[in-house]
Amino acid sequence: MTTRAFALCFLATCPLACLPADTRPVPGHVFVSVQRAPELAASPISFVSADGWTVDLDTALVGMGNVRFEGDLCNDYSEAGYTRLLDVNQAGPQKLGELYGLNACLLHFSVSKPADNSVLGEGVSQAQLDFMRNAQVPVTSDQGLTSAQGMALHVSGRLSKSGQVVSFDWGFSDGLRFSECKRPLGTEFESKLPLVSGETIQISISVDFRNLFQLGLDPKWTEPSSDPNAPTNENDPRAFPKLSLAQLIVDADQVTGNANGIVGVDELSAVTLPGGPPPPAAQSLADVLRLVAYPTSFRYEDTGQCSEQARSRNGGGPDF
């Protein structure tokens, strides 16, 4: 037997005991789950907007993942650098990822178009994954109405009131990064996750679809100052006043649109909302859904805090 053949044979037969032992301390454990907001108890999701429209969701698919630790003092043992495609219409929490580490850490996660090897959540099919990755969806951008391939969030359903019914089928193609996430601690926020050897911390991320039809549900929402000279951050969702969007969405089809009972992104783009920040921030109803309502639909530990940043799916500004 040659030396090379002997080496190959040794590697093939060497038991795991040959590997060096991991002498690091036993890590702490973080289990991250995703569920619909607790206020959305009905299954499938159904709720009544502030202006009296019943919203029924037939589809509530979201791509999420890339869960990892952050922080200079964090001793991370592992990360969950994959994505999942989740059906949030399913009742109960669903696993997003598990992490192991020690010391003081912050959490990061993302919302994005799923990968071709994304883990499928409960009730999700391969056909739905293919659709989320490849469907051409109309989107708004800094260059106007265009299209993008794939989506991070897909919602479809209907609004109904007094016998009137208007349906919607929307894909949000923006990728969102949520970093430096902190749990609420009374009226403050916990500076770091205290990871202790052998102990588990449960983290819940909820998706509140009511935000797509009502601005201002975020508990941290503060309406803009009435002082015209006050500084305005055009990227801050709370630069907008609290506002119910359901009637505006219906009117986009029934009043200013083609009145075919299906509200499209082109119709939403034709509706201008007063009271928001100056250009180049959101100007149309479609912009408000894309830039404000969609990002604020994700809640970390209910009233927790994250730094949120949008990233484009097709090279320009973020899209819806």
235-254 pLDDT, tens digit per residue, is: 455 556 678 899 999 999 99
- Give the Cα separation of 268 and 282 in Å (integer): 12
- CB neighbour list of residue 144: distance below 8 Å, 6 or more residues apart: none
Low-confidence spans in the chain with pLDDT less than 70: 1-21, 218-241, 274-282, 310-320
Alpha-carbon span 295 to 172, nearest angstrom: 10
The two tokens of residue 61 are 């698919």
Distance CA(221)–CA(146), nearest Å, equals: 31
Q: What are the structure tokens assigned to 132, written together? A: 């989320």
pLDDT of residue 148: 92
Helices (H), the chain: 3-13, 126-134, 246-254, 265-269, 285-288
pTM of the model: 0.84
**DSSP state, residue 239:** G
* Alpha carbons 247 and 267: distance in angstroms, whole number: 14
Query: What is the Rg, in whole angstroms, of the alpha carbon atoms belonging to the chain?
Result: 23
Evaluate whether 97 touches 107 at the Cβ level (below 8 Å).
no
User: What's the rounded Cα separation, in Å, for the pair 90 and 94?
Assistant: 9
CA distances from 166 to 64, 139, 254, 267, 287 (A): 29, 20, 8, 13, 20
